[in-house]
């Protein structure tokens, strides 16, 4: 167990009551799939759809002007939270998936056959398939950096794969299966040394790691609001201002233009250039409320709290003979495991009978499953609201699975 001062982790542990979705005495250990929502976020959305509701950016009446102000304040809140240089670097999208597709379809237009994109072996399908679609359109090549034995991106091997034709490196900050945290600053440095850009999929990092995007050195960063205790259907693409300014629009429509005639259209500067149509107004307001909520606790405290929970879970599960744990020792809030002779879906079903919710499956990482040599894993993932009681319930549930399947027994 790490030496986390009690004062750091007590605050998050006492937060269960803030989350109506946690009522009913269940141990929710599927936060990597989607996080439960604090009442503060639900209230902010209700108000935005209720007494505050109006469109943004268009209305000349007061309610719309006020909503526009709140919407743009929310952008500034997100910008501050992630350490962007300016709110104009924050593009609202539907989620991380849409953010990566935006980059592939807009920035990707400058790539030609022979150019290369470098990803890693642990990427989510949303950081693989958009590049394959781009490859099919342009003829770019995709390289895949291998993992270390304990399931991190092998940074030295990644560096060895960089070439002057590598135009983009695109990697997960935190793996949604193994929980390892990538050394983004090192990878950014190496990518830039060959003239490549770095896109970071921050879906699992944004809720778990304090972000300072200017210090990290990435060029693009994507995240999903629903994993950060905010609503579904809203996320962020962050890009360096000059980079976004150099990119063509990817969708056309209202709100992204300066002038339109039948002959020619000129486009608004970023971020509006990439936000065609009426935006997800209430999603943006809800996301800002989620940011306010986690900032009220502090990302350092959340990270320390999850580190303690994952360490406790590793210790408890490693005592059970038939359990294999995947991923690095210091995984961030996420722990994948297998039980010899038991399909992960059976683990998930039996744990559910004990009120413990985990995820079982390929986690949208089929190539990683192939690397691990398994069809699927069971995954417990923690959030700021989990506590050591949830860990104990997980361990007890797994012991029950091993008894049912006749693989019970503990290691010394
Ligand atoms: C690492 C990672 N990247 C991308 C995604 C895709 O996120 P979304 O479905 O919210 O777009 C996920 C979701 O599970 C993820 O864990």
353-403 pLDDT, tens digit each: 999 999 999 999 999 999 999 999 999 999 999 999 999 999 999 999 999
Token pair of 36 as six digits: 């439960």
Kindly give the distance from the C-alpha atom of residue 22 to the centroid of ligand 1, in angstroms, as a whole number. Answer: 22
CATH 3.90.1150.10 segments of the chain: 6-30+299-404
Q: Which atom of ligand 1 is nearest to the CA of 126?
A: 4
* Confidence band, pLDDT 50/70/90 cuts, at residue 282: very high
Q: Which residues contact 349 (CB under 8 A, 6 or more apart)?
A: none
Per the CB < 8 A criterion, the answer to whether 385 and 367 are in contact is no
Q: Which residues contact 205 (CB under 8 A, 6 or more apart)?
A: 172, 173, 174, 181, 211, 223, 332
- Helix or strand (DSSP H, E) at 314: helix 299-318
365 has catalytic annotation: no
* Confidence band, pLDDT 50/70/90 cuts, at residue 8: very low
pLDDT, tens digit, 9 for 90 and up, residues 232-256: 999 999 999 999 999 999 999 999 9
**Third-level CATH fold of 6-30+299-404:** 3.90.1150
Testing ligand 1's pocket by substitution, the residue of 364, 377, 383 carrying the most ligand atoms inside 8 A of its CB is 364
Kindly give the distance from the C-alpha atom of residue 203 to the centroid of ligand 1, in angstroms, as a whole number. Answer: 6
CATH 3.40.640.10 segments of the chain: 42-295
Testing ligand 1's pocket by substitution, the residue of 95, 199, 331 carrying the most ligand atoms inside 8 A of its CB is 95
pLDDT, tens digit, 9 for 90 and up, residues 332-357: 999 999 999 999 999 999 999 999 99
| Residue nearest atom 16 in ligand 1 by C-alpha distance | 176
Kindly give the distance from the C-alpha atom of residue 55 to the centroid of ligand 1, in angstroms, as a whole number. Answer: 28
Q: Indicate the pTM of the whole model.
A: 0.95
Q: What is the pLDDT of residue 60?
A: 87
Q: What is the pLDDT of residue 7?
A: 42
Active-site pick, 144, 364, 374, 396: 364
Euclidean distance between CA atoms 222 and 220, whole angstroms? 7
**Third-level CATH fold of 42-295:** 3.40.640
Kindly give the distance from the C-alpha atom of residue 97 to the centroid of ligand 1, in angstroms, as a whole number. Answer: 6
Q: What is the pLDDT of residue 398?
A: 96
């Amino acid at each position: 167990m790490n030496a986390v001062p009690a004062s750091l982790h007590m605050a998050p542990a006492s937060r269960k009551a803030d989350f109506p979705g946690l009522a009913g005495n269940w141990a929710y250990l599927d936060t990597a799939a989607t996080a439960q929502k604090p009442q503060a976020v639900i209230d902010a959305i209700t108000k935005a759809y209720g007494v505050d509701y109006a469109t943004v950016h268009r209305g000349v009446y007061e309610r719309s002007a006020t909503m526009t102000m709140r919407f743009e304040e929310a952008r500034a809140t997100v910008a501050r939270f992630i350490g962007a240089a300016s709110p104009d670097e924050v593009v609202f999208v539907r989620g991380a998936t849409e953010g990566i597709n935006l980059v592939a379809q807009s920035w990707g237009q400058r790539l030609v056959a022979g150019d290369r994109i470098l990803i890693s072996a642990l990427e989510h399908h949303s950081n693989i398939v958009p590049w394959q679609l781009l490859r099919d359109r342009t003829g770019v090549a995709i390289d895949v950096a291998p993992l270390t034995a304990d399931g991190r991106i092998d940074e030295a091997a990644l560096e060895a794969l960089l070439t002057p034709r590598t135009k983009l490196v695109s990697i997960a900050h935190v793996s949604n299966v193994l929980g390892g945290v990538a050394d983004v600053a090192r990878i950014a440095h190496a990518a830039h040394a060959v003239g490549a850009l770095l896109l970071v999929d921050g879906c699992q990092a944004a809720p778990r790691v304090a972000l300072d995007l200017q210090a990290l050195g990435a060029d693009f960063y994507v995240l999903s609001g629903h994993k950060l205790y905010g609503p579904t259907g809203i996320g962020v693409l962050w890009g360096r201002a000059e980079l976004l300014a150099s990119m063509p629009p990817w969708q056309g429509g209202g709100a992204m233009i300066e002038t339109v005639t039948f002959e020619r259209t000129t486009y608004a500067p970023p971020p509006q250039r990439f936000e065609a149509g009426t935006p997800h107004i209430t999603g943006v307001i809800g996301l800002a409320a989620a940011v306010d909520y986690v900032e009220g606790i502090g990302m350092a405290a959340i990270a320390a709290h999850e580190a303690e929970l994952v360490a406790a879970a590793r210790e408890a599960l490693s005592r059970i003979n038939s359990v294999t744990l995947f991923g690095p020792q210091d995984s961030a809030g996420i722990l994948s495991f297998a039980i010899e002779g038991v399909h992960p879906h059976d683990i998930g079903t039996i744990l559910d009978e004990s009120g413990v919710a985990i995820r079982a499956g390929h986690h949208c990482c089929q190539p990683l499953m192939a690397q691990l040599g398994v069809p699927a894993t069971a995954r417990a993932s923690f959030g700021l609201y989990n506590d050591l009681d949830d860990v104990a319930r997980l361990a007890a549930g797994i012991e029950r699975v091993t008894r049912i399947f006749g693989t019970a027994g503990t290691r010394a």
